């Protein structure tokens, strides 16, 4: 490897640099899952169903070929519990063989697979009986983990048990309120009447938080027994306290993020997933600053969130637990903006690595334009997907980031142009 220039940092040996997807968002026709059921329930927030998604269930070899050819050395994807166990206790050998083929396919293409066992979706039977509220939910997840090891036990080093448990717990709280008040009340604000609620002020479901933590603990033990490195990935919200609101911000952040980070203190690694920041005043969360640039999801464009999230994670979990950035990206139709955002985010990350932070990898969200939980409109992908033909088209951002991955470099200097 040639020495880096003054504006670049050579990544550590073994550094993973890739892109990420989740099964439900790209595979298509995940008919046995609870999300498929939600998508076909009238009167919810869902604007359109996932349908065929990106048809990656059949086209995964093409997706992996593209990532490898672009220069990436890793791919994060999930296996789908609803496909593996579509009915309680009934295991699909075909689904296990499918995911085993994906793992082998990644390895054959020089892509280190980081596999997620649960990325928001569960089997419909699991949710119909109460989901994470059911008393034996952690054991059901442990049993699924034992089964999934048949697919991911060979050729995989890192496994994420549960993706963004803090968001999953919050979803349960929001669904409970929606069932009581109706989905039309979602985000209506306190001024709209007693039946309205502000989702920014809803706390994650405490019962679900406890169940997810126990499920993670049990699954992690099984994975380590199999010689794998276990962790989970947290949605890092980058809570920023306004002057005088430090105590309020800490109280707001703890049930929404820090309790999940604290549960990772004995893990083999922890996943950081950062996109933007959230400002908190004495009375709670504040809106996006007036005039600030926003993404297609309405989030403030704030690439420095990545370094701030890593710093907070290390300070909460402890420096002894390695960090992997398992998601970072921007929903935009302007690929020049995607490059500028990612360049600045990577530059901030590189500075932390240069200062000694134990960061083992970076996965961009997402590899493909995909189904973003209710709609296809927010485009996060490095690779565009035609909704009719499913033709894949790498964007300039994919070639730029892939070239960095091939060279083993991260930029140290932010881009001159604002993103």
Q: Which residues are catalytic?
A: 164
* Helices vs. strands in the chain: H and E counts, helices first: 14, 15
Which is nearest to 172 in space by CA: 140, 141, 205, 138?
A: 205
Q: Hey, is 233 helix, strand or coil?
A: strand
Q: What's the burial of 140, exposed, middle or buried (CB within 10 Å: 0-12/13-18/19+)? A: buried
What is the spatial distance between Cα 250 and Cα 316, in angstroms, rounded to a whole number? Answer: 12
Residue 60: C-alpha distances to residues 74, 309, 332, 390 (Å): 14, 31, 24, 12
CA pair distance 155, 400, nearest whole angstrom = 28
In angstroms, the CA 387 to CA 377 distance is: 11
Rg (CA), the chain: 20
Give the count of alpha carbons within 13 A of 61, CB side only: 6
Q: At what angle do helices 305-317 and 335-354 cross, to 10 degrees?
A: 40
DSSP state at residue 85: -
Q: Which helix (H) or strand (E) holds 158?
A: strand 158-163
Tokens of 94: 């075909």
| CB neighbour list of residue 33: distance below 8 Å, 6 or more residues apart | 24, 80, 81, 82, 121, 122, 123, 124
Cα–Cα distance for residue pair 275/300, rounded to 1 Å = 9
The token duo for 315 is 């300070």
CA 398 to chain centre: 19
Cα 409 from Cα 395, distance rounded (Å): 20
Residue 226 exposure: Cα atoms within 13 Å on the Cβ side: 24
**344, 303 in Cβ contact below 8 A?**
yes
Closest CA relative to residue 346, chosen from 114, 15, 102, 1: 15
């Amino acid at each position: 490897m040639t020495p880096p220039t003054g504006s670049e940092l050579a990544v550590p040996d073994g550094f993973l640099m890739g892109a990420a997807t989740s099964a439900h968002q790209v595979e298509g026709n995940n008919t046995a899952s609870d999300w498929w059921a939600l998508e076909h329930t009238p009167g919810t927030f869902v604007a359109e169903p996932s349908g065929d998604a990106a048809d990656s269930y059949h086209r995964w070899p093409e997706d992996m070929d593209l990532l490898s050819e672009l220069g990436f050395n890793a791919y994060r994807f999930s296996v789908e519990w609803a496909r593996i166990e579509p009915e309680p206790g009934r295991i699909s050998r075909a689904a296990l063989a499918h995911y085993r083929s994906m793992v082998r396919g990644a390895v054959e293409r020089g892509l280190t697979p980081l596999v997620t066992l649960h990325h928001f979706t569960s089997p419909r039977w699991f949710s119909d009986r109460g989901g994470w509220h059911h008393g034996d939910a952690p054991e059901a997840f442990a049993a699924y983990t034992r089964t999934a090891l048949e697919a991911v036990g060979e050729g995989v080093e890192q496994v994420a048990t549960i993706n963004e448990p803090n968001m999953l717990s919050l979803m349960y709280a929001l669904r409970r309120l929606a069932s009581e008040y109706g989905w039309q009340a979602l985000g209506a604000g306190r001024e709209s009447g007693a039946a309205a609620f502000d989702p920014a002020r809803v706390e994650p479901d405490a019962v679900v938080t406890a169940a997810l933590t126990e499920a993670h603990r049990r699954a992690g033990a099984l994975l380590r027994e199999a010689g794998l490195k276990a962790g989970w990935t947290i949605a890092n919200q980058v809570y920023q306290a306004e002057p005088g609101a430090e105590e309020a911000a800490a109280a707001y952040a703890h049930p929404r993020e820090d309790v999940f980070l604290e549960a990772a203190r004995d893990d083999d690694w922890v996943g950081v997933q950062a996109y933007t920041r959230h400002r908190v005043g004495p009375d709670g969360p504040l809106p996006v600053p007036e005039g600030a640039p926003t993404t297609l999801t309405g989030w403030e464009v704030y690439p420095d969130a990545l370094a701030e999230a890593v710093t907070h994670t290390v300070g909460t979990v402890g420096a002894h637990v390695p960090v992997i950035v398992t998601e970072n990206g921007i929903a935009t139709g302007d690929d020049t903006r995607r490059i500028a955002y990612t360049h600045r985010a990577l530059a901030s990350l590189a500075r932390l690595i240069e200062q000694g932070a134990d960061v083992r990898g970076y996965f961009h969200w997402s590899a493909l334009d995909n189904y973003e939980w209710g709609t296809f409109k927010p485009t996060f992908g490095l690779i565009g997907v035609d909704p009719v033909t499913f033709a894949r088209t790498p964007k300039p951002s994919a070639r730029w980031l892939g070239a960095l991955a091939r060279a083993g470099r991260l930029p140290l200097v932010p881009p001159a142009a604002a993103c």
